[in-house]
Amino acid sequence: MQFPIHCKTLLSLLADGHFHSGTGLARSLGLSRSAVWGMIHDLQARGLAFSAVPGKGYRLAKPLELLDGDTILASLSETARQRILGLEIHDELDSTNTFLMSQAASGRPSGTVCLAESQTAGRGRIGRAWQSPYGGAICLSLLWRFEEHGSVAGLSLAVGVAIHRALRRAGIKGIGLKWPNDLLCEDRKLGGILLEVVGEAHGRCAVVVGIGLNVQLPSGPAKAIDQAWTDLSQIIGGKPPSRNQLIAYLLEELLDLLAHYPTRGLSAYLDEWRQWHCMGGRKAVLHVGDKTIEGVVAGVSEAGLLLLDCGEAGLKEFASGDVRLRADQGKRSAQ
């Protein structure tokens, strides 16, 4: 869903984070001052924070870099650009994954990318909600088709490595990986991956890789997050990196990964995954459905399964679940 054109123009005028008078904005938009006020009100209701000061006008609480398809495409290598067969940017969607899953069903090709400035029903793993306030995060989904269903084994771990590489390219350090595919900084969640697969005829399948990365979350919507979280502006301690540039790095890494995954497989990414794993040797509880299993995280198997040292019960492998640190753990982050 796109915002009405006037609303989008208003946002681009205010994106610099400086004050703009109501009269000036109304003149630029060819609208009345009360129409401008109405749009600001609507945007506030969608989670954008403004200040309004008599005699000065309106300003966004924080400058905003709007997503821009041309900027993203211009930052990509020729190889990556050719692998993109559609790039859609929405102001608001329920969920970029839900949207692309339905597009997959109607035959959209590999290399279809969907981005949204905000999601009203963003989805996380294990049925969790994912908060995505306007302009505060990266909400990216990418559709890819595989000839063989078996080719996608371990893909979600490899995607974690691809995101880690993209973050390093952007100069962001200190990020760790947590099984199966969380990105953490000092045990606080920076981002996550929701990988959804639909089987098709003759062993083929379509995969939607959904990535959520917190860039600069406003405090209001962030209150709804039910776990320790962080964002790139906190990690950097100031102005976050350009979302458009970061999306280009992400697409560059993801498209290379997906194009070669059937031949390379998880083994090409495992060493790197293990290098950035930030839970190794830590006491944890694994939640699988309504069961809990205590142990010490021992790493991941060659197939990408979680290895949990369960003491007398021995070393066990798990294919799914949610790993949570035991309360008596200290913090740790990657190098």
83, 165, 189, 243: the catalytic one is 189
Crossing angle of helices 33-45/5-14, nearest 10°? Answer: 80
Q: Does the footprint of ligand BTN cover residue 188 (CB under 6 A)? A: no
- The answer to whether 125 is a known catalytic residue is yes
Question: Could you give the CA distance from residue 171 to residue 199 in angstroms, rounded to a whole number?
Answer: 37
Using rule CB under 6 A, residue 231 touches ligand BTN:
no
Looking at the chain, how many residues does it have? 335
How far lies 130's CA from each of 71, 134, 178, 262, 312, in Å? Answer: 26, 13, 17, 30, 37
- Beta carbon nearer to ligand BTN, 90 or 123: 123
| 87 phi and psi angles, rounded to 5 deg | -135, 115
122 binds ligand BTN (CB under 6 A): yes
x/- site string to ligand BTN, residues 71 to 110, per CB under 6 A? ------------------------xxx-------------
d(CA 249, CA 275): 20
By CB under 6 A, residue 253 contacts ligand BTN: no
Least distance from C-beta 99 to ligand BTN, angstroms? 8
With CA atoms as reference, report the closest residue to 1 among 124, 115, 133: 115
Contact region for ligand BTN (CB under 6 A) — 30-38, 206-214, 217-225, 301-309? 206-214
Catalytic residue selected from 46, 59, 81, 125: 125
Minimum CB–partner distance for residue 124 and ligand BTN (Å): 3
Q: Does 160 bind ligand BTN (CB under 6 A)?
A: no
According to the binding rule CB under 6 A, does residue 193 interact with ligand BTN? yes
Interaction of residue 304 with ligand BTN, rule CB under 6 A: no
Nearest to ligand BTN by Cβ — which residue? 192
Residue span binding ligand BTN (CB under 6 A) among the ranges 80-88, 207-215, 251-259, 262-270: 207-215
**Residues with Cβ within 8 Å of residue 118, at least 6 apart in sequence:** 46, 47, 91, 92, 93, 132, 133, 134, 135, 136, 139
Q: Identify the residue among 103, 112, 141, 244 touching ligand BTN (CB under 6 A).
A: 141
Q: Is 264 a catalytic residue?
A: no
Give CA–CA dist 219/41, Å, rounded.
18
- Cα–Cα distance, 316 to 51 (Å, whole number): 54
Is 324 in the active site? no
Residue (of 207, 203, 228) closest to 217 by Cα position:
228
Residues near 83 by Cβ (< 8 Å), separated by ≥ 6? 110, 111, 255, 259
131: contact with ligand BTN by CB under 6 A:
no
Q: How many residues bind ligand BTN (CB under 6 A)?
A: 21
What is d(CA 164, CA 320) in angstroms, rounded to the nearest whole number? 21
* Chain residues that interact with ligand BTN, rule: CB under 6 A: 95-97, 119, 122-125, 128, 130, 132, 139-141, 182, 192-194, 210-212
Catalytic residues: 125, 189, 326
